[in-house]
Amino acid sequence: MILVNFKAYEETWGEKAVDLAKICQKVANKTGVKIIPVVSALDAVRIMETVKTEVWLQDVDEVFEGAATGAISPIGAKSLRIGGTLLNHSERRKKPGTIKKMLKMWPKNFGVAVCLNSLGQAEGWAKNIKADYIAYEPKYLIGSRDKSVATEKPEVIKKMVKNYPKTPILVGAGIHSAQDVKVSLKLGTAGILISSYIVKSNEPEKRLLELAECF
């Protein structure tokens, strides 16, 4: 499984978000690997209608319904057939208590990948949380082009997999090569979470295909 986080890069504004989602779908169809665009709430429905693919949001708010101007509701997202969301990404951190409260109220069949940036979080407040995926991303490696979670933290990846025997583990932060993917999968992960290596590339399809072919 590959989650491609579009973030708010200029390369994903307007029609470019649809174009990148088409690339994700094309590579998924070619390789048989599940590839999910993780997009802005501004683009989610339009991408789904145009590309006919599952999409996730980059974040949702703790307000599920009610008087909350500007909030992105998990229930509202599900009602639009959006498939799921990231939660607690390093760039959109939430308090542990907020995350636990949200997950207790979580809409059925609305996917969630809870992002953690350390083993301490996994062994502490996040030890028994119920999520569809746990995504391990050391913050200091996010966006790196010469180091990755696979090269720098293989022992932590192994422990994350062991700590969550019933929850698939995704890894991200600095993933930028086929070798990174192969190492991650060998360590027991279910896939990767990736962003700038694909989104900022002049050849996003070529790069995504190279990674997907490692599965």
For the cut 90, the answer to whether the pLDDT of residue 139 exceeds it is no
Q: Cα–chain-centroid distance for residue 131?
A: 13
- Residue 89 scores a pLDDT above 90: yes
pLDDT digits (tens, 9 = 90+) for 93-111: 999 999 999 999 999 999 9
As a whole number of angstroms, the distance between CA 151 and CA 117 comes to 16
Catalytic member of 62, 65, 89, 210: 89
The residue length of the chain stands at 215
pLDDT at res. 120: 95
Instruction: Mark whether 137 is an active-site residue.
Output: yes
| pLDDT bucket at 146, cuts 50 / 70 / 90 | confident
Question: How far from 144 is each of 115, 194, 205, CA to CA, in Å?
Answer: 18, 11, 20
| Amino acid 171: pLDDT | 96
Tally Cβ neighbours within 10 Å of residue 147: 16
33: domain CATH number is: 3.20.20.70
Average pLDDT in the 120-137 region? 96
In total, how many domains does the chain have? Answer: 1
Q: Give the per-residue pLDDT at 50.
A: 95
What is the rounded average pLDDT of the residues 117-144? 92
List % helix, strand, coil for the chain (3-state, nearest 5).
40, 15, 45
pLDDT at 144 over 80: no
User: 3 pLDDT exceeds 80?
Assistant: yes
Please report the DSSP string for 27-79 in residue order.
HHHHH---EEEEE-TTTHHHHHHHH----EES---S--SSS-TT---HHHHHH
Residue 170 burial by CB count (10 A; 0-12/13-18/19+): exposed, middle or buried?
buried
pLDDT in tens, 6-59: 999 999 999 999 999 999 999 999 999 999 999 999 999 999 999 989 999 999
**Looking up tokens 């101007």, which residue turns up?**
69
pLDDT given for residue 87 in this prediction? 98
Closest by Cα among 48, 42, 46, 114 to 83: 48
pLDDT at 121: 96
Could you list the residue range(s) of the whole structural domain that residue 147 is in? 2-212
- Strand, helix or coil for residue 158: helix
Residue 142: its pLDDT value, please? 83
- List the catalytic residue out of 137, 152, 155, 205: 137
Q: How confident is the model at residue 141 (pLDDT cuts 50, 70, 90)?
A: confident
- Residue 171: phi, psi to the nearest 5? -130, 145
**Residue 143 pLDDT:** 78
pLDDT range class, residue 133, cuts 50, 70, 90: very high
DSSP 107: P
